[in-house]
Every structure is written in structure tokens, then in C-alpha cells.
Amino acid sequence: MGEAVSQSTGLPELAFDAGFFRDPHTRLGALRAEGAEAVFLPRMSTAMFLSFESVHDVLLGRNFGAMGAAYYEQQGWTEGPYIDWLRRTVVFLDPPVHDRLRGLMNRAFTPRQVARVRPITQRIAARLADAAADAVHVDLYDAFAQKLPLQVICEVIGIPEVDFEQMGRWTEALSVATGYPTDEDRVRADAAMVGLSDYAADLIRARRASPADDLLSALIEVEEAGERLSPEELVAMIAQMLYAGHETTRNLIGNGLFCLLEFPDQLAALRADPPRMEAAVEEMLRFEPPIIYLSRLVREDCEHAGVALAKGQLILVSLSAANRDPRRFDRPERFDIGRADNRHLSFGFGAHFCVGASIARMEGSVAFETLLDRFATIEWDGAEPRWAGDTALRTLEAFPLHLRAA
């Protein structure tokens, strides 16, 4: 591709721009084909690792820790409500704080709480599909993919239905901040975090006074070794669950349907053999992961995949590139719902493996079971839309569909 080479690192340089976010596969695939294990991102002044092995080892945690707020600090965003939230959120923290918070969270996710999620998901998916059938011409995100996981996590937490739409607006503002946010994006994310934190604090006070059969009440009551979540930690956890509990699943549904429409033979195979749904969802996650990269901090001076790294340095790992590494996956550019040994990295790995991975997989399966059962025709309504160019979350700018009921 004729990429420039960094004089300081000797690595090929990669522009961290809208073109990269819209199409990471072409750029990274070409670099990998030239033998690149890592690239240098001038905009971030650091390296991004590409191979399955190098990404896997970073996520495993060998000499690499959670990013905290470093990804944004390196962009000059060092303070404000959004940054404060990151510094209190379990997925951005290392042990021992990470282990304590995750342990308390796991205690609240009892088998009974988890068992509640599937019937809730099935009920909401059926209702949304009915409404989409009446409309015929819909946007998948607006009509289904955004609403399904958002309404599920809101109901599981215990948020009243009247507030679902507001939760969507706040979490959308947070998602835009995940790439290389503009000043306007930062202002929106800070405002959203203030609104969401105030709302969560009010809801927590209400549940302390009158517990209910929901996850929030379980989190308030949970104890382990005499510890409880502090009010600030509980607010941060509710905000994290609202955000992570639906944005990535939204993209799993959207990206998965995109893959099925791009590979109609695989759509036909799935319609003909519905029990292949779980394997199909795994291939959707591999082929178009909901998040295209993650960040980590180097704990000690070291060398990784031939790249010299310094203690405290922020690095990035490309899930998109790792999931299409030909040394790990046969014919990785082929979307194949029958793929065997599909051990992708889309939910991370190691200590920070996504706590909601099993629920996201279940919601994805229910979503596609509902859509394929309800609609005999699912096709683009007009031209195929573009991928978004301003977020680390892999998503299309819109998803216009024509539907015909079965």
C-alpha cells in the first residue's frame, strides 16, 4: 500500500482517520500481507498490534494492564465527567480494584438473574419484529437492533420504560467518544455522563428505600468479604452496564445481518438449518467484531512481537486484524457459518474478558431467530450504506431495509 515507515520505530505507519474506521480490513489486511506484525499510529504516537498471537498475548495480561483513561489523556482529554467515569469503571481498572468490583458484580449476576434475560429478550424481540412488519420499510437500528438490547438491559436493571429513549440518547453520546472524539463529541459525552450519573443516583436511592426484583436491587444488596459497592462505584457500574450492555450487542445484530446480506448463500444455509445459529453468531463476531480495537498500558519495559515498549506506554490491539489472521483462521476473508474452531477475540481475553459475553451471544441468537422466522424477505432498501468513520465501535451510519413477512 506504500505506507510510510516511522523513523523512530521502523514500523509502517497507519493513518488513524475516517478511512481507517470505515474500512479497517483493507488497510490492515494489506499491511499484514506485507509481513507487518504491528503498525505505528502517528496520531496516537504508539503501536497497534495486528496478529492473532500478539493480540492474544496482550489481552492475556502478560505485562499489559487496563488502559484507565490513558487513551483519552494521550489525545489531550484529561478531565471532566466522562474521564472521571472511566477512572471508576471496572473494565478500565487493574487488580486489586478490578478483582473486587468484578467479584461483587459476579455475585449479583446470580443464575436467577441471568435466567430472567432470555424470556425478556424473546418478548421484546417479538414485539419489535411485529412493529417492523407493519412498517415494511425500516432502519434496522432504529426499529430493532438498537432497541432490543437497550430495552433488555434497562428492564433487567430496573429502569422504567418511560426512560428507555433517554437512556438511548445518553449512551449514543458515549459511543461517539470511543474513537478520536472532536471537542463537540467531548462536550456531548460529558453532558451525557452527568445526566446518566444523576439519573442512576436517583434510581439507587429509590431502590434502597424500596427494593425490587431487578439487577440494581441485587447490586445494592450484594456483599463479599464484608465489602459493598460505594455509591460512586455503583453509579459507575450502572452507567457501564447500560452502555456496554447494549451498544456492542446492537453492533453484533447490525454487523451480523450485514454479513448475511453480503453472503446470501450463508443466509440461505442458516434459514435451512436454524440449529446452526450459535455457530453463525460466533462467525458474525469474528468477521465484523462490534469493537475494532482495544487499548492497554505497558507495565514494564519489554519487547513484544519485535517492538520495543516502555513502561507506561499506551498500545492498541486490533481485533479486526487478529480475527482475520490467516495463520489462525483458514480463508479468513470468507464469512462461513460452518467455520470450525472459531476462537475469535471479539470479547477480549484474560482478566478483562467481557462479563456480559454470554448474554450478548444469547441476545444475538434470539434476534436472528426472531428476524428470520418473522420475515421471508430481508434486503437493502436502496443503496448499501457506509460504515461509520468516527468510532471504534463497528457500525453502519444507517441500515435501511425492506421487509416482507413470512
Question: Which residues, 6+ apart, have CB-to-CB distance to 400 below 8 Å?
Answer: 137, 138, 139, 140, 380, 381, 382, 385
Q: Catalogue the E-assigned strands of 262-386.
A: 293-298, 302-304, 307-309, 314-318, 375-380
Is 1 within a domain? no
Look at residue 7 and tell me if it is in a domain. no
Instruction: Give the closest residue to 363 by CA, choosing from 353, 354, 351, 352.
Output: 354
CA quadruple 169, 171, 176, 179: dihedral, nearest 10: 180
Q: Is residue 3 part of a domain?
A: no
Q: How many domains does the chain have?
A: 1
Whether 244 shows a pLDDT value over 90: the answer reads no
Question: Distance (Å, rounded) from C-alpha 140 to C-alpha 383?
Answer: 14
The confidence band for 1, taking pLDDT boundaries of 50, 70 and 90, is very low
> Does a structural domain hold residue 242?
yes
What's the pLDDT score for residue 252? 97
Q: To the nearest whole number, what is the mean pLDDT of the chain?
A: 91
Does residue 5 fall inside a structural domain? no
The residue ranges of DSSP E strands in 213-371, in sequence order, are 293-298, 302-304, 307-309, 314-318
> Is residue 4, in this structure, part of any structural domain at all?
no
Distance of CA 228 to the CA centre of its chain: 27
**Percent of the residues in the chain that have a pLDDT greater than 90, as a whole number:** 73
For residue 215, what is the DSSP state?
A: H
pLDDT, tens digit (0-9, with 9 covering 90-100), for 154-212: 999 999 999 999 999 999 899 888 888 999 999 999 999 999 999 999 999 999 999 99
> Is a pLDDT exceeding 90 seen at residue 104?
no
Q: What range does the domain containing 230 cover?
A: 18-405
Which CATH number fits the domain that encloses residue 111? 1.10.630.10
Among 344, 325, 341, 345, residue whose Cα is nearest residue 333: 325
Q: What is the pLDDT of residues 293-330, one digit of tens each?
A: 999 999 999 999 999 999 999 999 999 999 999 999 99
Residue-wise pLDDT for 120-149, tens only, equals 999 999 999 999 999 989 999 999 999 999
Q: What are the two backbone dihedrals, phi and then psi, of residue 355, each rounded to the nearest 5 degrees?
A: -65, -25
Query: What pLDDT does residue 225 have?
Result: 66
Q: Is residue 11 part of a domain?
A: no
Neighbours of 130 (CB within 10 A): 12
